Amino acid sequence: MKKVRLADLQESVQDKSAFGTLDDYLTICRTFLEAVKKTHPTRIVSTSHPNYIFYQYSEDYGHKITRPLNVDLFIESVSDFKEIFERFVDFLTDLKQYQEAAVDLKGRKKYVESKEINKVVYTVQQAIGSIGDSFDNPNQSRKRVGQLFETLVKLIIQGVGLECEPRTINLPIPGYPGYKMSYELDLVFSRNKAIITSETRLIHPSEVVGSVKTTSKDRIDKVFLDKYLLTKLLGRDIPVIAIFLHDVQRARKGNSIFGINSTFKSNHFLGYTVALNRLDGVYYVDPRPIMEANERLREQIHDFQQFLVKDLWRLSSR
């Protein structure tokens, strides 16, 4: 069997024809974990947060260092990942059939309590991100890594039986006949195929807009602005949610470059909530501790698993 090189994984990440199914994500993640096991990149534990690690690649890849990986979520064992991914796909099948009632099925309560949904999504996306970190120029892969997270979330939502696709709309500007503003939406989802008519104007009342980003850094204001502008320009409330992977980055702590910093701006988040509007849901695969400790943040921010198991069905039943 041909030995898989990191360069092969780089090509796979850049392949625009790939990643059309969840199986493609299983394959890339499993192959990355196998490559790590065989090539033994240096495993570095964060000096400030020991539940985060980094991999440092060999000289062939310029000793590049990956993003921080939360070992509470990141599954390093190939065999463990394969089993957990299979359980995840089985649960998606139950959600498709039983929707929010799936958690009441025999054995499913224990599964939900295990938080394996967050672990699967985190491991898959961070494996892709770690491959992206091996490129000579990080800008080569940054956009692609973000696109693949959007696609991953889209496939998961489609996997439980909902309609879900990205959409570009041309928003009419009130008071300026003939002038329109082009607007790209990461995802638009609904339980049923929505028929867009001149009366519903670009987004059907049963549809929900989703903003999907790997991190809220430099992006959180746009999500709030999306809801504000869509609601203002379309003349009715447009439900908008945000899904983020994490909000951490590597930072220097003392003499070490392997510390962790949070990129989440809690005061900005609360300020936008007051000054613009409250979002209809904010979800993290790897939430920051402050999101649980702060009462006002805890009311609005939840983990991705809650979105998939509970809130997705409430939002799409409008």
Q: pLDDT (tens digit, 9 = 90+) per residue, 241-270?
A: 999 999 999 998 888 899 999 999 999 999
Q: pLDDT (tens digit, 9 = 90+) per residue, 57-81?
A: 999 899 999 999 999 999 999 999 9
Predicted model pTM: 0.95
Tell me 137's DSSP state.
Answer: S
Coil/strand/helix, residue 182: strand
Q: Which tokens go with 43? A: 């495993």
Q: How confident is the model at residue 82 (pLDDT cuts 50, 70, 90)?
A: very high
Q: pLDDT (tens digit, 9 = 90+) per residue, 136-156?
A: 887 778 899 999 999 999 999
Phi, then psi, of 265 in degrees rounded to 5 = -105, 95
| For residue 108, pLDDT beyond 70 | yes
- The pLDDT, as a whole number, for residue 190 is 95
What is the maximum span of the chain, computed from C-alpha positions, in angstroms?
65
